[in-house]
Amino acid sequence: MVSFKSGEKPDNLYGEDVYSCVIDEATRLREESWHAVRSTMTATRGSLRIIGNVKGRKNWAYILARRAEIGERDWHYAKLTAYDAADAGVIEVSEIENAKSMLPERVFKELYLAEPSDDGGNPFGQQAILDCVAPLSPRPPAVFGIDLAKSVDYTVVIGLDNEGRVSVFDRFQAPWEETCRRLSNHIGYTPALVDSTGVGDPIVEKLQRELPNVTGFNFSSSSKQKLMEGLSLAIQTQAIYYPDGAIVSELDAFSYEYTRTGVRYSAPSGLHDDCVMALGLAVHAQTNVAGEGVW
């Protein structure tokens, strides 16, 4: 049986098990409706396709898309623009150009190019992020920035060469012993700034016993703000370059907000910020490293 239902009232979507589903105009659908649909597919493990126009960044569909884009298990992400449709003969390019001449740039980019508008909550700037995209550098790294994690998040290793280009990028989940071995192989005698917050402290101490150029960095609200301000400046002045993929996705989704105690930087709930933190550590290392590799 095939049914067509509205997502206006989430409670109406609960009930019978669903074996496959298409959610259309997902960015305009209430998050509670997504919760209802997902619950009806738990027992059946049915297939799901989520489609729709881009509509800003602060919605559940945008966040799910970012998770799929960076490799969420059993998920796939695809982006189609109006020009892709024109190439396939679905619409005329002249019609797209006409819409471009009549609509506000922000609206055109969202509805025709699938590019979310910059809502002011991103500390780096959407265009500035894209301006720094470049292939991996073939040169050896001059410094490393490393954000540690074990299971839920990812350990991310980013190496910058002498020109500020990412030349090493590794993102993985592994037990601590394997993580230490992998980090040692990457770092060698290159200066490295490593997350020493919480469980990261003994890992940094272990690395320091073998590698003289490893320095710990403890995340606090003030140190994180300083790190992100330095990264923002580097991106907006094109002092660094990084490959497309997980780094760009995390930078694009990253946000900040003003609180009573200062500025809070974070990834939206459900997304990762490990690449952003590692990149910030690498930039900080590059900016502050002395001749002997000491911060």
Report angle CA 12, 16, 21 to the nearest 5 degrees.
80
Give yes or no for a contact between 240 and 278, defined as CB atoms under 8 angstroms apart.
no
- Do the domain assignments include residue 120? no
Position 294 confidence tier, pLDDT thresholds 50, 70, 90: very low
CATH number of domain containing 249: 3.30.420.240
Same domain, 145 and 24: no
* pLDDT above 60 for 247: yes
Give yes or no for a contact between 122 and 255, defined as CB atoms under 8 angstroms apart.
yes
Domain that holds residue 257: 129-288
Q: Which residue has the tokens 């993102």?
A: 171
Specify the pLDDT at position 44: 93
Same domain, 164 and 283: yes
Q: Tokens standing for 105?
A: 């740039």
Position 260 confidence tier, pLDDT thresholds 50, 70, 90: low
- Do the domain assignments include residue 75? no
Q: How far apart are CA 164 and CA 168, in angstroms?
A: 12
Position 291 confidence tier, pLDDT thresholds 50, 70, 90: very low
| Average confidence (pLDDT) over 75-91 | 94
Tens digits of per-residue pLDDT, 162-199?
A: 999 999 999 999 999 999 999 999 999 999 999 998 87
Q: How far apart are CA 161 and CA 61, in angstroms?
A: 36
Give the helix/strand (H/E) hosting 155.
strand 155-160
Same domain, 21 and 138: no
Q: How far apart are CA 293 and CA 141, in angstroms?
A: 13
Specify the pLDDT at position 166: 98
| Average confidence (pLDDT) over 153-159 | 94
Residue-averaged pLDDT of the chain: 88
Q: Which of 41, 69, 97 is the last residue of a domain?
A: 69
Q: Which of 69, 85, 119 is the last residue of a domain?
A: 69
Q: Which of 20, 45, 69 is the last residue of a domain?
A: 69
Q: Tokens standing for 204?
A: 């940094």
Specify the pLDDT at position 262: 65
Paired strand residues for 1: none
Q: Output the CA torsion sign for 268, 272, 274, 279.
A: negative
Give yes or no for a contact between 100 and 82, defined as CB atoms under 8 angstroms apart.
no
> Could you give the number of structural domains in the chain?
2
- Do the domain assignments include residue 32? yes
